[in-house]
Amino acid sequence: MITKMKKLVLFLPNIEEDIDANLTLLGELGVMHVMPFQPAKDASIERVDARIKQLEKAIEILDDYSEIDSREFAIPADLNFRNQKRGEIALLEKVLEADAQEMALQKLEQEQNKELKWYNEWGNVSITDLAELKQVGAFIRLYLLDDRDLKKIQDLENISVVGKLSHLHQVVFVSQDPNEKLDFKEVELPAYQQTELKELVEQTHFKMDENRKLLEILASQKDVLKTALEERIRRMDVRNVHYAGKNFDEQIICWKGFIPEQSVDELVSVAEKNSWAYIIDDPEQEELDEVPTLVKSAKWAERIRPVMNFMGLVPGYKELDVSKIFMIFFTFFTGILVGDAGYGLIFLLITLAVHSKTKFKRKIEFDLMYTLSVAIMIWGVLTGTYFGSQSIANWSFLSQLRVDKLASFGGDSLFVQQLMFSIGAIQLTIGHLQTAWKYNNSVKAIAQLGWVSIIWGLYFVVDQMVLGIAAPAVMPWLFVGGAVLIALFSNPGTSFFKGVLSSLGSLPLSVISGFSDIISYIRLYAVGLSTVLMATSFNHMALGDGITTIASGIGAVLVLVLGHGLNMILAGMAVIVHGVRLNMLEYAGHASVEFSGSEYQPFKLKNQKNI
């Protein structure tokens, strides 16, 4: 159900030293969804934001050394920041400094390795000898030239080709004129002799090792930065609320927001204890679009929350909570769309394996995956579908569990298609009955019963047009009765004739839309059948001609693994595309749910006593 909300206007004295403490109490209470009067802007927010980014960067740097966190370190006193005053700042600066040093050393190492590579390519050339030759008027320059460029200068007497690198020629040019050069890019000489360079590389590696040992020591104290980050985030949250409030003569500052009805007593108790002023009232009609939505569903229905969050589906404050129906039918749809007990078993085993290795032992996403995997397995058993293999389906103990009319191999396709249309009509009927319950104090509820009548009339029309099943004699009366109820009770409060004409005017398009909505449920049958056919095709590709050689056996295994893997991925995508669509568009449209709400997000801080 959607929790009833109250509008709250909170007033506090605009005293700087008290604002932080009072807002911290409000945040620790964690019940007020704050609606800002204006964007929060202040220099202190910018400073805290800058510090948060530094702390996040430092923690990310130390994460690369997290594997050594559990080691015992003999931490030097000057590097032990846990007991230092403002130790988190000193630690932060040390981490950023060490990271900058690491980056500088890595750059230096790259440059030195580049010069060592030069010696590997050009040989053990003495930079000192080249400098001495320059002193006596012999200037030596090096070039790398391709065949075309080499032809241009091959007649020169003062060049020598001394080797080749890949497709380029190593050319030495000797001249007595310091300004004489070839019209090509010159190869730069190393800054150090080869022996000196090797010593410098060793020194660089030593410095890198020392710097990394320092970072390992600092990583063992990462919790200091995490605690500091939590505190800065708390400050940021407090300041964002503080400066989003509205000042009155610089004496009073107030905030507007919403709180759940059941949290009113708790807030009033804290407010009176701390001398806060407040106004609590029901939201006005024109404010309903601003009211955030807090959905409280049964524990089993909460499993659909990851899907709704992924799709950004939040019902409006005055709309229906559709999570229970969404969960029931989404589970059913998933079973039909995938529909293979073998695939369901693999999904279940993968979920178990991932769940066993994660620290989130009770995460709701795993509960959802367990539910969907079991649903796939159940429908697969009922239809006798196991990796698309008819042979497995005919095993005696499995065939006894199969419902013959639903069977993927030899079943009654007409019955299955009619079942899909029936599922559609049932779900759309539930949507209208929920809307009728919403209007239980209004004659609008009777109009919804009219829509239920039309939905079943459309169901019989679809059966006749698509499946050739003769419609019962009651079908025309379902339309007549439904149209009368809709015309009479859809628009109460307006003049009678105007309301009737308005309802009848929009009825034809709504009926056409309802017809297409029911037909849309045939996608369950079509996509489920395609999953079975693809699985069967891959089996035939792998095993159709038999396995006669080792190579054919390996090929068969590859086709089966890759083919069924691809089929499972496509089936998973079909669940997202079709399973969600039927709930989000067809059903939600008939339940008058537009998912136009904004999620209830209270200003909430960790209790500092528990940090």
Q: What is the mean pLDDT of residues 332-350?
A: 94
Q: What is the pLDDT of residues 371-409, one digit of tens each?
A: 999 999 999 999 999 999 988 988 888 889 999 999 998
Alpha-carbon gap, residue 206 to 115, rounded angstroms: 19
Question: What does the block give as tokens for 191?
Answer: 């800054």
Per-residue confidence band for 476, with pLDDT thresholds at 50, 70 and 90? very high
- Of 155, 154, 172, 153, give the one whose Cα is nearest residue 164: 172
Alpha-carbon gap, residue 323 to 305, rounded angstroms: 8
Q: What is the mean pLDDT of residues 7-17?
A: 87
- What percent of the chain lies above the pLDDT cut of 70? 96
Per-residue confidence band for 131, with pLDDT thresholds at 50, 70 and 90? confident
Rounded alpha-carbon distances, angstroms, from residue 141 to 125, 196, 251? 13, 22, 79
pLDDT greater than 60 at residue 70: no
Residue 607: the pLDDT is 66
pLDDT greater than 80 at residue 107: yes
For the ranges 82-86, 127-131, 141-145, 470-474, the lowest mean pLDDT is seen at 82-86
CA 537 from chain center: how many Å?
A: 34
Residue 72: the pLDDT is 55
More confident residue, 26 or 78: 26
Outline where 521-609 has alpha helix (H).
522-543, 550-574, 580-581, 588-590
Outline where 220-356 has alpha helix (H).
222-242, 264-273, 305-311, 323-338, 341-356
Residue 69: the pLDDT is 47
Q: What is the mean pLDDT of residues 444-473?
A: 93
Alpha-carbon gap, residue 64 to 81, rounded angstroms: 20
Helix (H, G, I), strand (E, B) or coil at 350: helix
Angle between helices 413-438 and 496-520 in degrees, nearest 10: 150
Q: What is the pLDDT of residues 239-281, one digit of tens each?
A: 999 999 888 877 889 999 999 999 999 999 999 999 899 999 9
Residue 10: the pLDDT is 93
- Of 240, 326, 186, give the one whose Cα is nearest residue 52: 240
Q: What is the mean pLDDT of residues 121-128?
A: 85
Residue 327: the pLDDT is 94
Alpha-carbon gap, residue 139 to 137, rounded angstroms: 6
Contact of 363 with 407, CB cutoff 8 Å: no
Q: How many CB atoms lie within 10 A of CB 78?
A: 9
- Of 290, 287, 303, give the one whose Cα is nearest residue 597: 290
Question: What does the block give as tokens for 399?
Answer: 């065939």
Contact of 532 with 339, CB cutoff 8 Å: yes
Residue 611: the pLDDT is 39
Residue 609: the pLDDT is 47
Per-residue confidence band for 494, with pLDDT thresholds at 50, 70 and 90? low
Task: Give the burial class of 521: count Cβ atoms within 10 A of its Cβ; 0-12 exposed, 13-18 middle, 19 or more buried.
Answer: buried
Extract the runs of DSSP E, i.e. beta strands, from 134-197: 139-145, 159-165, 168-175, 186-187
pLDDT greater than 80 at residue 425: yes
pLDDT greater than 60 at residue 506: yes
- What percent of the chain lies above the pLDDT cut of 90? 51
Q: What is the pLDDT of residues 204-252, one digit of tens each?
A: 999 999 999 888 888 888 889 998 999 999 999 999 999 998 888 778 8
Per-residue confidence band for 42, with pLDDT thresholds at 50, 70 and 90? confident
Please provide the average confidence, as pLDDT, over all residues in the chain.
89
Residue 515: the pLDDT is 93
Q: Please, how many CA atoms are within 13 Å of residue 433, restricted to the half-sphere of its CB?
A: 9
Question: What does the block give as tokens for 202?
Answer: 């060793």
In the DSSP assignment, the letter for residue 576 is I
pLDDT greater than 70 at residue 68: no
Extract the runs of DSSP E, i.e. beta strands, from 47-151: 139-145
